[in-house]
Amino acid sequence: MLEIIDIATPRAYPPRVSAFTRRFWSSLAEGRLETTRCTACQRFSFPPKQLCPHCWHREVAWAPLSGNGRLYAATAIHAAPLAFRAVAPYRVGIVDLDEGIRLACALLENLPLDSPVRLVVLRHPDGPLFAARSVG
């Protein structure tokens, strides 16, 4: 289970939720990080996809992710797009999860590259997002 942090404000730019991705967002709201994994080649895909982007197999299954990884890249955004201007400056990063997935997310702290990180759930009133913070 991922740590859940309550945030009082709505998300600056809410994601589009489809019938297929609803499971991802519902699980995230409960503190679980899941994505799809190909039943043929066993590789994960993120964001979740209805078919494998690696081998094009049409059968995928939902699988849990640990939320643990390392910070691959990071930057601070000062000149933010209009939707995010109220929260600027903010930090974003690329995280390599232990399962081999590379994803982009908000960073809750200024961290050196290659730092161990753990994803957390940001529970906004209009739905969840995820971010990374240092381990410990």
Residue 104 pLDDT: 97
Closest residue by Cα to residue 67 from 16, 116, 128: 116
Tracing tokens 């299954």 back to the chain, one arrives at 61
pLDDT averaged over 10-residue windows placed end to end, the chain, 136 residues: 97 94 98 98 97 97 98 97 93 98 97 98 98 93
Residues carrying CATH 2.40.50.840, the chain: 67-136
Tracing tokens 């930090």 back to the chain, one arrives at 91
Identify residue 55 by its one-letter amino acid code. Answer: C
Tracing tokens 């109220």 back to the chain, one arrives at 86
Residue 4 pLDDT: 98
Topology (CATH level 3) of domain 67-136: OB fold (Dihydrolipoamide Acetyltransferase, E2P) (2.40.50)
Identify residue 81 by its one-letter amino acid code. Answer: P
